[in-house]
Structure 1
Amino acid sequence: MPSIVTVLYNLVGITLLSFLIGNDVALNVNVPKAVNAGSEFDVEVILKKGNLSGFARLQQDLPMGLTAQLVESSLGDFSFDEQKLRFVWLRLPEGKEMRLVYRVKVDERLKGSFTLKGTFAYVDNNERKTAEFQTSTISINPSTRIDPNLIVDINEFQTIIPPQAPVGFVASNVRCIRQTPIPSGAENDYLVKLLVNKGNAQKFAKIEEDVPEGFTAEAIETKDAVFTFKDQKVKFLWMNLPAEPRFVVSYKLIAPDGKGNITVSLKGTFSYLVGEATRVIDIIQKDIDLTNIDPAALDGLISSTFSTEGANIISGFTPYSEGGIDIPIEYKKIEDKPKRKAKPEFDMEPFMLMPEKGVYYRVQIAAGHKPIDIKRYFTRYNIKYDVRTEKHEGWYKYSIGSFKEYKEARDFRILIWNSTRINDAFVTAYNNGTRITVQEALMITSQKWYR
């Protein structure tokens, strides 16, 4: 609604704040002085970056009740999740100045005032630097269109949290459909196509199919997944799912030499992460053509394949209850209670990760909110390496190995996938003991990224 934004700006004016980040780096942030509940407004950020050219990330925290969408990114990767919006550049574009714009929607129930806090992280002369900034106060004019009893101060709204829908309900629109295998042209070879409707799934997903004895498999379309074929199992593994809501992957089944008219019967699952729980659903086979299917027919196909049968939830730490009913949202105020220091069930001190000098990589194999018996727990996963843990962002994170080269860590990660029961291990990066992103580590060390 650009017209609403324009009118609002004309009425209340703009506040311009300048923040000096470094000798040649500065941020100018433009925000309105006041906004109306239920309306939208734009936040404009002008980055005077000087000679910066490497990795950079701008992040701002939005109070609950505000949502954001992209308007202009200056070639940055934009995301908004868990009240954090981010612009990320693996390499900043050319030019001395960049303009970023995002649009904020204000919940109609709000009143009061708030500020937007943020950080700008960048790499300068192979050194990672971070600068914090904050906008001036923005006032919210309460809505006149809703019951005054429903209006809440934005600061009080931060302690009012709606209960989360059950995992089954959140994940109910995730599907994986297999097209009935068709001959690929070669004798007794078959083409297998799989449609994924990812719903709310974003990370750590896997397709796993059992291949008939004697057949081998080769990847055709992976959609950036890691493809493996081992022990008569085909696997597509994603650390991050593709951006599109639906996509198709495919592989070729190669028949044993000298054998003809072999009946192909496949059975597979699609697993993905919801919160801390891994959910597993059966892949459903249909006599369809996924090459040129009509979008309307595709919607009907996906809706018709919903079934809770065969769906499981697997979690090493926090189990979730099954469910798929639509429940009314209730708002409950969190009462202030004295915090009690929880006594760990296990002594984690001997297993804590110690910092190393410089940039290095490790392979994370698990994470959870509660400490575990490391020796006993990872034995069942066939992990024979020294497991260390660290407290990071409220989690116990467990990792193995230490590598100066990213390629060595990548190869070790694949070894873990193929030699243990852990299929979602991934590479993490550190600089003098502090966690950084892999992209930052690659930029600092001028190393190459390998898939």
Structure 2
Amino acid sequence: MHSIVTAFYNLIGVTLLSFLLGSDVAFNLNVPSTVNAGSEFDVEVVLKKGDLSGFARLQQELPYGLTAKLVESSLGDFSFEEQKVRFLWLKLPDEKQLRLVYRIKVDERLKGSFSLKGTFSYIDNNERKTANFESSKITINPSDKIDPNLIVDINEFQNVIPPQPPVGFMASNVKCIRQTPIPTGEMNDYMVKLLVNRGSAQKFAKIEEEVPEGFTAEPIETRDAAFSFKDQKVKFLWMNLPADPRFVVSYKLIPPDGNGEIKVSIKGTFSYLIGDATRVIDIIQKDVDLSNIDPAVLDGIIASSSSTAGANIISGFTQDYSEGGIEIPIQYKKIEDKPKRKVKPEFNMQPFMLMPEKGVYYRVQIAAGHKPINIKRYFKRYNINYDVRTEKHEGWYKYSIGSFKEYKEARDFRIFIWNTTKINDAFVTAYNNGKRITVQEALMITNQKWYR
């Protein structure tokens, strides 16, 4: 196939564009000037990176009607989702010049001209830099094998693409099923197994189960979740869900004083993130056998569980990919003794503003909101006894605690907050001389290791 594509290039010609990013950083973008509908063509990027060695990302957005697959990545992590081609390096290879190639397939119904827009982001001298680029026009020759009435201009095609499924539809196939607890055969303990069908959910998910008074719980199979048991609540918390479309986790329930005659009644929810919304569904208990994790068996259990028990609840959480986590909404109450008077908050925020520190450091964000709050009073209810500081960032008041030079220390403190307070969605943020950067950038600048 590649030889056919190369011969096709030689026939129609290739357009070479050069982009100078810095004194010793540049890249060339090679694309054909003409392609045929229904055919494939290669996009070649030659990156002359000089001494760049840290985090970098190249991203291009493809018009609808075009799909992409990898040919050569130069050790970059390649992905194609939502019409975006991405090459991502947490650490660039040592070679002075890198070659990236991906192959685009053109829908056979298209004609017209388009260009490929993109950005290249990288770290240079501890600063994040971004360069925008755009290819020259690429013309699509219409296919002579397609009914002319079905052929559409690629630019018009962008306006007639069906809308993406709404969150409710995307979330409808997410389910969590609990097998009716059964004796383990050891003492009077019970085994609790839960089947998760994650659907479109990928990040920031949580199982929370409330178990009977007096019982204790121990993890058996966590599938890389952070497990905790406190205040009669069992929790499995994932920053990233397992890649498997369906999986089983389990824990052991231990009755008080070994008394196995106590009735076991469990209520639980599964929380997950779709788009910018957190969804919460009730866990369904069924008399099923989850010991057989054959995909066909699990599919049958999922298909038979069409109950909509526990309607989805959309919370006010807002996802923030660039900083590695999600925002925690703050609930505001009206001041009952002054209902008719609208005044600005009397609480003085200035002593609580986050001051910049030198170099790269990490903090743990615990909440965010669009309005200032009384920090001392608000976080007392969440058992936060640390120095809370706030900053205004992208229209939000963001509240964080701690200051760590090592990412692992911040990660450990985040887990400590999960396990010892009522805040279960705290996450690590990173700064460079007081300016927010992504955790990935901070790890590259400091040459530190990432820990789950």
Query: Cα deviations across residues 269-315 of structure 1 (Å, max 9, x unaligned)?
Result: 11111223211112223444444443333223222213323122132
Q: Which has the higher contact order (CA 8 A, sep 6+)?
A: 1
Q: Quick one: distance in 2 between partners of 1:381 and 1:113?
A: 56
Give the partner amino acid of 1:202.
Answer: Q
Contact 1:367 1:397 in 2 (8 A): yes
User: 1:427: how far off?
Assistant: 1.1
Q: Quick one: distance in 1 between partners of 2:274 and 2:421?
A: 23
Which position in structure 1 is the counterpart of 2:424?
Answer: 423
Give the partner amino acid of 1:414.
Answer: I
Greater Cα offset, 93-102 or 431-440: 93-102
Which position in structure 2 is the counterpart of 1:390?
Answer: 392
Q: Quick one: distance in 1 between partners of 2:64 and 2:344?
A: 35
Change (3 A) 1:289 1:47: farther
- SS class of match (2:444): helix
Which position in structure 2 is the counterpart of 1:57?
Answer: 57
User: 1:21: how far off?
Assistant: 4.5
Q: Quick one: distance in 1 between partners of 2:399 and 2:34?
A: 47
User: 1:422: how far off?
Assistant: 3.5
- SS class of match (1:449): coil
Which position in structure 2 is the counterpart of 1:360?
Answer: 361
User: 1:88: how far off?
Assistant: 2.1
User: 1:171: how far off?
Assistant: 0.7
User: 1:397: how far off?
Assistant: 6.2
Q: Quick one: distance in 1 between partners of 2:426 and 2:31?
A: 42
Give the partner amino acid of 2:230.
Answer: K
Give the partner amino acid of 1:265.
Answer: S
Query: Cα deviations across residues 174-226 of structure 1 (Å, max 9, x unaligned)?
Result: 12223344444532233333222211112221111122333322223323322
Which position in structure 2 is the counterpart of 1:203?
Answer: 203
Query: Cα deviations across residues 371-404 of structure 1 (Å, max 9, x unaligned)?
Result: 3454499938935664535343xx6362312513
| TM-score where L is the length of structure 1 | 0.77
Give the partner amino acid of 1:429.
Answer: A
Contact 1:118 1:132 in 2 (8 A): yes
Q: Quick one: distance in 2 between partners of 1:109 and 1:309?
A: 45
Change (3 A) 1:317 1:428: closer
Q: Quick one: distance in 2 between partners of 1:363 and 1:146?
A: 59
| TM-score where L is the length of structure 2 | 0.77
Q: Quick one: distance in 2 between partners of 1:110 and 1:228?
A: 57
Greater Cα offset, 415-424 or 376-385: 376-385
Give the partner amino acid of 1:382.
Answer: R
Q: Quick one: distance in 1 between partners of 2:135 and 2:184?
A: 60
Which position in structure 2 is the counterpart of 1:285?
Answer: 285
Contact 1:61 1:117 in 2 (8 A): yes
Aligned: 1:238 with 2:260: no
Which position in structure 1 is the counterpart of 2:378?
Answer: 379
Change (3 A) 1:129 1:166: closer
Give the partner amino acid of 2:381.
Answer: N
- SS class of match (1:70): strand
Change (3 A) 1:272 1:157: same
User: 1:53: how far off?
Assistant: 4.2
Q: Quick one: distance in 1 between partners of 2:181 and 2:212?
A: 13
Q: Quick one: distance in 2 between partners of 1:291 and 1:16?
A: 58
1:425-440 alignment to 2 at 5 Å? 425-440=426-441
> Which has the larger Rg?
2
Aligned: 1:212 with 2:227: no
- Unaligned ranges ≥5, structure 1: 319-344
Q: Quick one: distance in 2 between partners of 1:363 and 1:169?
A: 33
Change (3 A) 1:208 1:6: farther
- SS class of match (2:392): strand
Q: Quick one: distance in 1 between partners of 2:100 and 2:167?
A: 35
Change (3 A) 1:295 1:412: closer
Give the partner amino acid of 2:444.
Answer: M
Q: Quick one: distance in 1 between partners of 2:51 and 2:397?
A: 37
Q: Quick one: distance in 1 between partners of 2:54 and 2:91?
A: 4
Contact 1:196 1:247 in 2 (8 A): yes
User: 1:131: how far off?
Assistant: 4.3
Query: Cα deviations across residues 6-54 of structure 1 (Å, max 9, x unaligned)?
Result: 6754553333344454566543433222234455433233344455444
Which position in structure 1 is the counterpart of 2:135?
Answer: 135
Give the partner amino acid of 2:437.
Answer: I
Which position in structure 2 is the counterpart of 1:339?
Answer: none
Contact 1:14 1:32 in 2 (8 A): yes
Change (3 A) 1:355 1:63: farther
Aligned: 1:296 with 2:275: no
Change (3 A) 1:85 1:115: closer
1:147-166 alignment to 2 at 5 Å? 148=149, 151-154=152-155, 163-166=163-166
Change (3 A) 1:117 1:265: same
Which position in structure 2 is the counterpart of 1:312?
Answer: 312
